[in-house]
Structure 1
Amino acid sequence: MDPKLLELLKIVIENYISRGEPVGSKFLNSLEDITYAPSTLRKYLNELEGGGYLYQPYHSAGRLPTIKGFSNYLDDLLINEEDLSSDFNFNAKMARNSLRFIVESLGKSTDGVVVGFLKNDEYYFLGINNLITNDSLKDYETIRLLIQFIENKNIIKHLNSKMIRYNQIKYSFIKSKDKFISSLYAKINVNGYEGIITVLGPVRINYKKNMNILQKFLKAYNSQI
């Protein structure tokens, strides 16, 4: 993608994540980061919409990112790692033999629900309370589907079907009914067993924060193996 369009897509997505509303050209034009003339801005937004990265929920509304838009945004984050200097501290030695410790440690810091499972059927999830905020209650239906998806262990079936290399962060968007659930995940080895850690949430979730925490976790964890 044209770097200018990619940067604009990034700004639209991050403002949608923080505000929870369609992002319009008037709002974008008021941002310090935007230096385009209004006509150029509208042209670029139309190009992003035409490419399937954004859509308008109704006529004359602002734009929302599509799954294709989110995927492009995450691809860029994975290529260009950003250190957000998060407060995440992790005791790697404690984690080597304990899936529960890993899930609980990540669950204290991430934005979303942390799920971990091993091939020997050990299964933990944590972090529902991270999603139950006044803001997220607007998307209660997605939260309900997410909880069902975890409790029914459908996330295990979904990720077990993926070809995953150890210690490599990947993402997936899972359609449940007419809603999408987002997943950032990585494969690790815990006490000799193959395991997967994933952070789940609605599509409107803090991907930068979660990816940064997962990157720091993997670096600390691998330094002790």
Structure 2
Amino acid sequence: MALLEISGLTRNFGGLRAVSNLSFTVAAGEILGLIGPNGSGKTTIFNLITGFLSPTMGDIRLDNENIVGLKPYAVTRRGIARTFQIVKPFPHLTVRENAALAALVRLGDRAQADAEAVRALKQVGLADKLDIPASDLTLSDQKRMEIARALATGPKLLLLDEPLGGLNPREMEDACGLIEHIHATGITVILVEHVMKAIMRISHRVVVIRQGEKIAEGPPAQVVSDPAVISAYFGKRVA
């Protein structure tokens, strides 16, 4: 059953069409990889799904409810959470307080939000860093905190925007394991990532976009051998 349905999604910025007539679905319990060259529209798609941008045309349905036009906090309350490509912690707040602020979007009670924040931080491996300033975290731990903030909102669909960016190979391996662990708890995942090894390992299915248009969709091994995908990444002569 489709948890998320995107149909005819289009977004124009003046004369620039950043996303063009894009359609795909995400099944409940799936990990979908969303890949494409830099500037192909991946983050714009996340912004459209989460209400940070409104589409020029098209529908976005979550559990068959059209969520186009909802504010980001309303989208979050319906079960979609996201991380950002560039982590933006509240540096002078503690790790616990950063996650608790996110939990308050769903929970009106501060004590409940604090408890949910602790649960999410333990899930991502930051149980021993609850009360240190977020500015003291390494990049790897900041990315984990970013994921914990998203988890603290209680999502059924988690959008991860380049969670491996800037990490060393060991940190990447640990981050892949964390994503798999989160998925095993029943959360559906859309993953934007340039590290193809991670996409091949984690994703059940991959959607490839170029200049805002879908050019391929299918199992990872099939997609990465598609001539259109090879051309998009390396040029027509290689393809």
TM over 0.5: no
The structure whose residues are more often strand, as a share, is: 2
Kindly indicate whether structure 1 or structure 2 has the higher relative contact order, using CA contacts under 8 Å at least 6 residues apart: 2
TM-score (norm 2): 0.26
Rg comparison, structure with higher value: 1
TM-score (norm 1): 0.27
